[in-house]
Amino acid sequence: MKADCAKCFALCCVALPFARSADFAVDKAAGTPCTNLQQDFRCGIHRDLRASGFPGCTVFDCFGAGQQVSQVTFGGRDWRAHPDTRQQMFEVFPVQRQLHELLFYVTEALTLTAARPVHAGLRRALAETEELVAADAATLAAADVGTLRQGINTLLLKTSELVRAAVPGKKRNHRGADLMGARLTGADLRGATLRGAYLIAADLRRADLRTADLIGADFRDADLAGADLTGALFLTQAQLNAARGDATTRIPATLTRPAHWTA
């Protein structure tokens, strides 16, 4: 569930749209190759994306969906050499990305001992999702991912409750909260729920986020210098990539320290 761009036909650079903003220097329609995309499916400004006005590209994570679609769903036939695959490939990629994201969350939930009461349901959800991931393009294009996500989200909520219940004291509930620019320096957020919270440009320096539920939290430009995110629930690489941190920021061993963070 980690992206391998070398095995992908640059699907995120073609299939997805983006609008001119602080994240992207230009507008691009879905299905249109980015102007920075080279013939070998590599980015012509990869090393300078942030400086060139494309920080959004450095944040995006397909959870491995790109190589799955490129090498498995379409058997290594790229959209340039096989233009007949183009439309369907671009339709399937966003579906696979959602499925791979769900696999990421369910797989993490299954590693949590406290969530054992829902492990049976999680295993069934994992098997159902894996079966769909391996399906052909037509099946994927017609998949009802919304219903699947709803069922899995119920299991993930229960997982979160079970894990956070073991944290002593009162836990903060910031689910869906607007915390943009909030001053949370040194805050004790252990066991808190920050699901879907807007933490854009929030000051989270030295905050304790261990066992906090971070699924869907928006960390764009949040300052995580010195923060402790070890054991945080459902933290993704994309969330870290969107934030700012430093050498003292503690992150789960399964994730990678972003290259743009300060030393």
The mean predicted confidence, pLDDT, of the chain is 96
- Nearest CA to 122 out of 147, 136, 104, 140 is that of 104
Residue 43: strand, helix, or coil: strand
CB-based burial label for 259 (10 Å; 0-12, 13-18, 19+): exposed
Q: 206 near 189, Cβ under 8 Å?
A: no
In eight-state DSSP terms, residue 41 is: S
Given a cut of 80, whether residue 263 has pLDDT beyond it is no
pLDDT tens-digit map of 162-211: 999 999 988 999 999 999 999 999 999 999 999 999 999 999 999 999 99
For the chain, the maximum distance between any two Cα atoms, rounded to a whole number of angstroms, is: 59
pLDDT tens-digit map of 148-174: 999 999 999 999 999 999 999 889 999
pLDDT tens-digit map of 89-108: 999 999 999 999 999 999 99
Q: Hey, where are the domains in the chain?
A: 5-164, 171-263
Tell me the residue type at 218: D
pLDDT tier at 115, thresholds 50, 70, 90 = very high
Q: Phi-psi bin for 219: left (phi > 0), alpha (psi -120 to 50), beta?
A: alpha
- Choices 3.40.50.300, 2.160.20.80, 2.60.40.420, 3.20.19.10: CATH for 171-263: 2.160.20.80
DSSP 165-180: TTS-SPPPB-TT-B-T
pLDDT tens-digit map of 247-262: 999 999 999 999 899 8
pLDDT score recorded for residue 1: 81
